[in-house]
Amino acid sequence: MNEKHYSLDELGWKDCFKGQLDTDDTEMIPARVTMTHKGHLVVSTGHSELLLKIAGKGIGSLNEQPTVGDWLLMDRETMVPVKVLERTSLLQRMAPGQEVKLQPIAANIDTLFIVSSCNTEFNLNRIERYICLALEAGVNFVLVLTKEDLTEEAQEYRKQAEHLFESMPIVTINGKDPQSVQSLQKWFKPGETVALLGSSGVGKTTLLNTINGTEKEKTGAIRHGDDKGRHTTTTRSLHVMPSGALLIDVPGIRELQLHDCHAGIDRAFSEIVEAEEMCRFSDCSHEREPGCGVREALESKIITRRRLDNYLKLKEEAEKNTTEIAERAKRKAGKKKKYSRKWKK
pLDDT of residue 289: 86
Residues spanned by the domain of 20: 9-84
Among 270, 122, 287, 115, smallest CA distance to 208 is for: 115
Find out whether 48 is annotated in a ligand binding site: no
Q: Above pLDDT 90, what percent of the chain?
A: 60
Q: Is 201 annotated as a binding residue?
A: yes
Read off the pLDDT band of 285 (50, 70, 90). confident
Which pLDDT score, from 0 to 100, does residue 1 have?
A: 57
**Who contacts 42 (Cβ-Cβ below 8 Å, separation ≥6)?**
1, 33, 34, 35, 36, 49, 50, 51, 52
Does residue 334 surpass a pLDDT of 90?
no
Check whether 163 has a pLDDT greater than 80: yes
Are both 180 and 235 inside the same structural domain?
A: yes
In this structure, the answer to whether residues 154 and 285 fall within a common structural domain is no
Residue 306 has pLDDT above 50, yes or no: yes
Q: Residue 35: which of 2, 79, 83 has the closest Cα? A: 2
- Ligand-binding annotation for 219, yes or no, is no
Is 292 labelled a binding residue? Answer: yes
Q: Which of 51-65, 100-114, 208-222, 241-255 comes out lowest in average pLDDT?
A: 208-222
Residues 283 and 229 in one domain: no
- Is position 3 within any domain? no
Per-residue pLDDT at 231: 39
Instruction: Count CA within 13 A, CB hemisphere, residue 141.
Output: 29
Computed on alpha carbons and rounded to an integer, the radius of gyration of the chain in Å comes to 22
Q: Do 96 and 236 belong to one domain? A: yes
| Banded pLDDT at 255 (limits 50, 70, 90) | confident
- Tens of pLDDT, residues 206-223: 888 898 876 544 333 323
Tell me the average pLDDT of the chain: 86
| Averaged pLDDT, 44-64 | 78
Please report whether residue 302 resides in a domain: yes
83 annotated as ligand-binding:
no
User: Is 78 inside any structural domain?
Assistant: yes
Which residue, 36, 62, 84, sits at the end of a domain?
84
Residue 40's pLDDT band (cuts 50, 70, 90): confident
CATH number at residue 310: 1.10.40.50
123 and 221 in a common domain: yes
Residue 243, marked binder: no
Between 57 and 121, the higher pLDDT residue: 121
Per-residue pLDDT at 339: 55
Quick check: is 2 in a domain? Answer: no
Q: Per the annotation, does 198 bind a ligand?
A: yes
Q: What is the CATH number of the domain that holds 35?
A: 2.30.30
Q: Are residues 33 and 110 in the same domain?
A: no
* 52: DSSP letter: E
233 is in an annotated binding site: no
Residue pair 199/162 in contact (Cβ under 8 Å)? The answer is: no
Residues 43 and 134 in one domain: no
Using DSSP's 3-state secondary structure scheme, residue 98 falls into coil
Q: What is the DSSP secondary structure assignment for residue 9, as one 8-state letter?
A: G
Is 187 inside a domain boundary?
yes
> What is the rounded CA–CA span in Å between residue 188 and residue 184?
7
Whether residue 345 lies inside any domain: the answer is no
What tens digit of pLDDT does each residue of 310-328 get?
999 999 999 999 998 888 8
pLDDT value at 234 more than 70: no
Co-location of 100 and 197 in the same domain: yes
Q: Residue 205 has what pLDDT? A: 86
Task: Tell whether residue 163 is among the known ligand binding residues.
Answer: no
Q: Is residue 202 a known part of a binding site?
A: yes
Of 291 and 25, more confident:
291
Same domain (yes/no): 114, 191: yes
- Within this chain, do residues 99 and 239 fall inside the same structural domain, yes or no? yes
The answer to the question of whether 244 is labelled as a binding residue is no
Structural domain contains residue 255: no
Give the pLDDT score at 101: 84
Q: Is the pLDDT of residue 236 over 90?
A: no
Q: What CATH number did the domain enclosing 176 receive? A: 3.40.50.300
Number of domains present in the structure of the chain = 3
Check whether residue 197 and residue 78 sit in a common domain.
no
103 in the same domain as 73: no
Is residue 285 situated within a structural domain? yes
Q: Is residue 34 part of an annotated ligand binding site?
A: no
